[in-house]
Chains A and B, each alone.
Chain A
């Protein structure tokens, strides 16, 4: 080896090679080609390393002057030229030059047609555009968000047709340069972008590419969008970029274009000249807002922004990000001023005078992402948190904070809630969490497929007590997960891109990932919106009535205002969910397998082993308790099919301990013989291509007997433990009609012995008569349900969607969709599963990890989607109670009560699952229930206790 033994370890790492490529600001001088003489003279020795160091220092010391600065000063006959004649820029169509760009220089205005364009004379610049590197920066102002090319690879994409549909990046701006056409297609440099693209507002865009380091950095408004390796070798890239047209179909303005044929340093690219007039206008806007709105923190922030922008004007130079932060605030002024005014005028507004942030009331389960840089479209000034729930119910609310300044430790401390006659709900029943935006694949908001893995995109998903548990590095678009080892905390990079085999595994069952038990103080950043989540678990013995408490804010331990919490506890308790078509038949909340002791101990299904029985029991119990708290009372469980009956026994005990339902059981014992039903089909050559019963009679008999013995043993053990044989056994996964037909003899055995076979198949007419249950992939409708019910099978669903999408909207709507469609609940795939559960970017298949929750060492991290599903099941519980009370009313024989019952049912029948507003649904359901209860009480009709069970 070339590293001498005496060489100090710290110096042994070369300055360039040891650093991750994304941290290098410019190319390593010893890697610049051609370096023939230099490299030959200095092999990889100490001398070469020292030379590398000095050259690096020299490179940084020198500032890279732009090759071209297009300032639109010299214009003649639609040709913009430099004073020294270095370039010629041709303007086409109706393009016009106007004074007053963002940096004080003129700008070019384009009308959005394909003829209104600009193009630099590339031939004239051919001799100057040499080198393996390129960088560009410019200002643009979109006047409408219509698809078109802006400049140098930046373009506006077509807006998604539906606001909740594909989220490729977070704004319709994309950097996508197809350069150097070859037989393979063009070499492509690209990056999606995140941020707030506003019409009429000046934005800054920049990129830097180095072929020597194969590295690309892209900025929008001074925020890094892409900063990593690229595999595109493009020699003399500036030549290619110069050939790209500008402002094609772009309706807006361009100004202050700067181009480098070197990998210019960040400071060079992101430093701007501040225009005095623009700065003064900005300051004036802020000052006017400060005077207009009587909300002290808002006014203070406005004055601070005005002062800062004036300082920039004095300095005449500013960092683009600092400038844009002010401009983003300016752009948000109307919205923020209106919300601030709402709070100032509200009764609780005074209590928030000390909070240097604007609290915004929002709907928690929206299909829009709640992001740090997007003002919530539905936000209202928050002056109190209002909730209504029944005893024993969990109910959630959410709000966002727009911080007016960077703060230290921001803390939310709930107080206890006092109610009627001194009743109290303790503060421990109020759980505060922060909604963590972290990087997931760009299609992950709505899709369980792994598209967009190469584009880490922020998504609000995790509900954390401790914000520091997941460190999100926006500049590098990376997630780092905290693991608390005995030697101290360490952050593990959990967003590597690539195949599983190329990265180190993450052992979920061994790594000590912990969230805090209660909300932890966290810093706030000016203008960086944060979302918070409040869950109240009303004690089962809480007296009905109105309760009041507070959420107290502190910053660095000092009081910073408070928000009242008003809770209305209803005078009824919710039963378990039941189906619409039969109000005495359970509505199942089921999740498929991978939640077992065996997997936690020895690992399976891509879940790493934990090697510890006691840890596995502890974790599983915590998971079961979480499921019970989320209305998922029937998870698939290990039964006695395996050899480790003691594990099955323990697991079933844990289910009971956690309060889950053990009749019926959804077991992982098969409803069929795998070889007969599916194995033979996969290997027909072994069976002389004839896999019929007639041709394999002896084998068929053998498998039949073996299966009978196995399932009899399992069912006997279930009966011994729980006194029933209601075990749902799953057939071949996603089997087609042929396979199900081969399974049928085994289904018969299963049924004869008391078990219930179920399948996942969508054609009732071919199979429903043979099974007791079907898990429908996505077709949720009454016709489908009827087909299965008519043959005596229950029908549940999965894959509508699979778990994985972070968007809570489909999960919030799922309960009522299934309920109104006469389904018997859900049987979803999968609670958590994936080769690397925390990493959306590690792939082995087309799917992203199937995660509804994220496993930790002492339970799971909940997600917004998971909370949404709980709420959707609560809807069903409300409607179940409503219908049961209505039945009592209808059977009471009293006309008024009968009419009331009918009206309540009619209301429930008319709920449109795809359009219903859930706040209305809940409030109306509660009102009907209370009316029915009152009516029954007044008529002295006894309500049987089963109504509430």
Chain B
């Protein structure tokens, strides 16, 4: 350094050097952690762990870098079956260590969460939650920030995993309020609404979704998804609580129609189909079972991106409502669709329902077949009584078919010309 030069000449050089040093240090820890990743993939967990531990022993790191190394160390320890040690290190050296950035602390929480929710290794959700709550108490999370929002989202997820949906709702809502990224914000609101729905706070859910829709600068797709979520919430019901007024169903339908305009990319997606199914269910509950059935039937009229059981459940819903309005023949058809795809009702009950419906429609042969099919799904030991009962029912059916024509030869009963066989199709 030239001593004759005034300080203003070399100060920028000093600053640049300092910045370079800092960047190098950052670059060096980043590249080191990449090396560790490579080592883990190429040489195994224990070699990678040895590398990290050697680096940690060397020291000469900032608190932040040290914490990042410890986070990696904890991750590797967890994978090498030293989970308690790993938990302790992440807790003490990353989450609660002084001078560590919020992002690194959050990464520590994420490591604990991801490592202990792997199938081979479980940690009580409570301990993971405690780590997250411990992080939230650190000074780096004292003020509202995007990272704090993310941490609250993690906390919300943990509460939801423990079925504490009221606490999850509060955490998700806090997260949404603090996040800056519109997509992340909307997703947090979605999660909050889902939690509120679990414990029947439909008003809370509606408020969340309204707040989501008021977020500026969100994509059209996201706007449409919010509308669908609002439609689902408006038509959200369970079997007891709600006989929705028609206006509410119309409101839900309004949201759905706004979201699913002709050029909407959401058309035909499972999200859209399930939303429309929810509206159809609300419609049926509001006193229009025929309308609800018709709407739901349209949803599964063509190929749909749904799993078999969901499709089957929709078919069962259609059939149940057709039964309610007395269209037994159509109802049986939809139950049969469910029988092909499977449904949550289970085959035993499904076939019984087919039989009951066919019987109500005086299709005794189909009813007999339904009861017969149902017997196949009865437990041979536990369901002995049920099998006997169903067998009796089949016999009763048989008698009912024969009833009017006891003097006629049994073979003649099943001929088309027999007037007693009204409504019984021999093809089925």
Which positions in A face B, CB cutoff 8 Å?
1-3, 5, 7, 9, 12-14, 16-18, 31, 33-36, 39-40, 44, 184, 231, 233, 235, 483, 485-487, 490, 492, 501-502, 504-507, 510-512, 601-603, 609-615, 643-646
Residues A40 and B422 in contact in the complex (CB < 8 Å), given A14-B326, A502-B349: yes
The answer, among B125, B239, B392, B399, for a CB contact under 8 Å with A504, is: B239
Main secondary structure of the interface of A (DSSP, over half): loop
- A646-B290 CB under 8 A given contacts A1-B297, A3-B325: no
CA distance A470 to B316 in the complex (A): 32
Contact B395 A184 (CB under 8 A): yes
**Chain A residues in 8 Å Cβ range of B185:** none
**Contacting pair B349 A1 (CB below 8 A):** no
CB <8 Å contact, A485 and B242: yes
With CB as the reference atom, state the residue of chain A lying closest to B421.
A36
Contacts of A643 in B (CB 8 A): 124-126
Name the CB-closest residue of A to B122.
Answer: A643
Nearest-neighbour CB distance to chain A for B233, whole angstroms, equals 13
Give Cα A235–Cα B202 distance, bound, in whole angstroms.
53
Residues of chain B with a CB closer than 8 A to A615's CB: 166, 199
The residue in B200, B288, B294 that gathers the most chain A C-beta atoms within 10 A of its C-beta is B200
User: By the criterion CB–CB under 8 Å, are B329 and A511 in contact?
Assistant: no
Cα distance, A39 to B329, chains bound together (Å): 14
B327's nearest neighbour on chain A, judged by CB, is A2
Knowing A1-B294, A504-B240, the reply to whether A34 touches B404 (Cβ < 8 A) is: yes
Q: Which of B157-165, B174-182, B262-270 contacts A (4 or more CB under 8 A)?
A: B157-165
Q: Contacts of B399 on A, CB cut-off 8 Å?
A: 233
| B77 lies within 8 A of chain A by Cβ | no
Which chain B residues lie closer than 8 Å to A603 at the CB level? Answer: 163
A-B contact pairs, 30 of them (CB 8 A): A1-B294, A1-B322, A2-B327, A5-B294, A12-B290, A13-B289, A17-B325, A39-B422, A39-B423, A44-B329, A235-B403, A486-B203, A490-B240, A504-B239, A506-B240, A507-B240, A512-B241, A601-B162, A602-B163, A603-B163, A610-B199, A611-B166, A611-B198, A612-B164, A612-B165, A612-B199, A613-B164, A614-B167, A615-B166, A643-B125
Closest A-chain residue to B246, C-beta based? A9
Chain B positions 340-385 with a Cβ under 8 Å from a chain A Cβ: 346, 349, 360, 362
Give the nearest-CB partner of B329 in chain A: A44
Which residues of chain B come closer than 8 Å to A614, judged between CB atoms? 166-167
Interface centre among B162, B242, B349 (most CB of A within 10 A): B162
Number of interface residues of B (CB under 8 A): 52
Contact of B64 with A by CB under 8 A: no
Q: How far is the CA of A347 from the CA of B235 in the complex (A)?
A: 63
How far apart are the CA atoms of A410 and B408 in the complex, in Å? 66
| Chain A residues positioned under 8 Å from B199 (CB to CB) | 510, 610-612, 615
Q: Identify the B interface with A (CB < 8 A).
A: 124-126, 159, 162-167, 198-200, 202-203, 238-243, 287-291, 293-294, 297, 322, 324-327, 329-330, 346, 349, 360, 362, 392-393, 395-396, 399-400, 403-404, 419-420, 422-423
B165-A12 in contact (CB<8A): no
Pair B422/A13 contact, Cβ less than 8 Å: no
Contact residues in A for B164 (Cβ distance below 8 Å): 601, 611-613
Q: Once the chains are docked, how many angstroms separate the CA of A601 from the CA of B198?
A: 11
Q: Which of A1, A184, A502, A611 contacts B392 (CB 8 A)?
A: A184
A667 to B143, CA, bound (A): 43
Which chain B residue lies CB-closest to A603? B163
Q: With A502-B349, A609-B163, A611-B165 in contact, do A487 and B422 touch (Cβ < 8 Å)?
A: no
- Cross-interface CB contact of B326 among A17, A504, A613, cutoff 8 Å: A17
B333 nearest in chain A by CB position: A1
The answer to whether A3 and B294 touch (CB under 8 A), given A9-B287, A492-B240, is yes
CB B127 to nearest CB in A, in angstroms, measures 8
> Are B290 and A13 interface neighbours, CB within 8 A?
yes
Q: Which residues of chain B come closer than 8 Å to A645, judged between CB atoms?
A: 126
Known: A504-B240, A511-B241. A1 touches B327 (CB 8 A): yes
Among residues of B, the one whose C-beta sits closest to the C-beta of A13 is B325
For A504, the chain B residues whose CB sits under 8 A away are 239-240
Residue of A nearest to B348 (CB): A501
Judging by beta carbons under 8 Å apart, are B291 and A9 in contact?
yes
Distance of A295 from chain B, by nearest CB (Å): 47
Q: Chain B residue with minimal CB distance to A598?
A: B163
Nearest-CB residue, chain A, relative to B195: A611
Further pairs besides A34-B404, A614-B166, A643-B126: 9, Cβ < 8 Å: A3-B325, A17-B325, A18-B324, A603-B163, A610-B199, A611-B163, A611-B166, A613-B164, A645-B126
Q: How far is the CB of A860 from chain B (nearest CB, A)?
A: 20
Complex interface: chain B residues within 8 A of A1 (CB): 293-294, 297, 322, 327, 330
Q: How far is the CA of A860 from the CA of B289 in the complex (A)?
A: 36
In Å, the complex CA distance between A615 and B198 comes to 13
Alpha-carbon separation in the docked complex, A505 to B287 (Å): 21
Q: A1-B327, A44-B329 are in contact. Are A9 and B403 (CB under 8 A)?
A: no
- Residues on A with beta carbons closer than 8 Å to the beta carbon of B393: 231
B242-A487 in contact (CB<8A):
yes
Partner of B126, one of A18, A235, A490, A644: A644
Q: Are A33 and B290 in contact (CB-based, < 8 A)?
A: no
CB pair A511–B240 under 8 Å, yes or no, is yes
What separation, in Å, do the CA atoms of A647 and B21 have in the docked complex?
50
Whether A483 lies near B423 (C-beta < 8 A) is no
The 3 closest A-B pairs by CB, nearest first: A17-B326, A643-B124, A36-B419
Q: Is the CB of A2 within 8 A of B330?
A: yes
Assembly CA distance A501 to B126 (angstroms): 33
Q: Which of A1, A5, A235, A644 has the most CB of B within 10 A?
A: A1
Which residues of A have CB within 8 Å of B289? 13
A contact residues around B165 at 8 Å (CB): 611-612
Kindly list chain B residues whose C-beta atoms are within 8 Å of the C-beta of A644.
Answer: 124-126, 162
CB distance from A559 to the nearest CB of B (A): 40
Whether the Cβ atoms of A483 and B322 lie closer than 8 Å is no
Q: How far is it, in angstroms, between the C-alpha of A7 and the C-alpha of B325 when the chains are bound? A: 13
Measured in the bound complex, the distance between the Cα atoms of B77 and A109 in whole Å is: 96
- The answer to whether B422 and A490 touch across the interface, beta carbons within 8 angstroms, is no
Chain A residues lying within 8 Å of B202, measured Cβ to Cβ, are 486
Given contacts A14-B326, A504-B239, contact A233 B420 (CB under 8 A): no
A646-B126 contact given A2-B330, A18-B325, CB 8 Å threshold: yes
Chain A contacts for B166, CB-based, 8 A:
611-615
Q: Which B residues are in CB contact (< 8 Å) with A483?
A: 240-241
Nearest CB in chain A: distance from B365 CB, A: 15
Q: Is the CB of A613 within 8 A of B403?
A: no
Residues of A within 8 A of B330 (CB): 1-2
Across the interface, which residues of B come within 8 angstroms of A184, CB to CB? 392, 395
Known contacts A504-B240, A601-B164; decide if A35 and B326 are in contact (CB<8 Å).
Answer: no
| Contact, CB under 8 Å: A34 / B163 | no
Q: What are the residues of chain B within 8 A of A510 when measuring CB–CB?
A: 199-200, 238
In angstroms, Cα B419 to Cα A645, docked, is: 71
* Minimum CB–CB distance for A612 against chain B, Å: 4
Least CB distance, B75 to chain A, in whole angstroms: 22
- Report how far A9 CA is from B242 CA in the complex, Å: 19
CA distance A805 to B379 in the complex (A): 31
Determine whether the beta carbon of A501 is less than 8 Å from that of B243. Answer: no
By a CB distance below 8 angstroms, the chain B residues around A17 are 325-326, 360
B residues less than 8 Å from A231 (CB atoms)? 393, 396
CB distance from A228 to the nearest CB of B (A): 15
Chain A, Cβ-Cβ closest to B392: A184
Q: How long is the Cα–Cα vector from A609 to B360 in the complex, in angstroms?
A: 36
Is A13 touching B326 in the complex (CB atoms < 8 A)?
yes
User: What are the residues of chain B within 8 A of A40 when measuring CB–CB?
Assistant: 422
For B396, list chain A residues within 8 Å (CB): 231, 233
Kindly state the separation between the CA atoms of A555 and B165 in the bound complex, as whole angstroms.
46
Once bound together, how far apart are the Cα atoms of A13 and B326, in whole Å? 7
Q: Which residues of B have CB within 8 Å of A646?
A: 126
A34 to B362, CA, bound (A): 11
Whether A44 lies near B326 (C-beta < 8 A) is yes
Q: Which of A3, A35, A502, A609 has the most CB of B within 10 A?
A: A3
Closest chain A CB from B133 CB (angstroms): 10
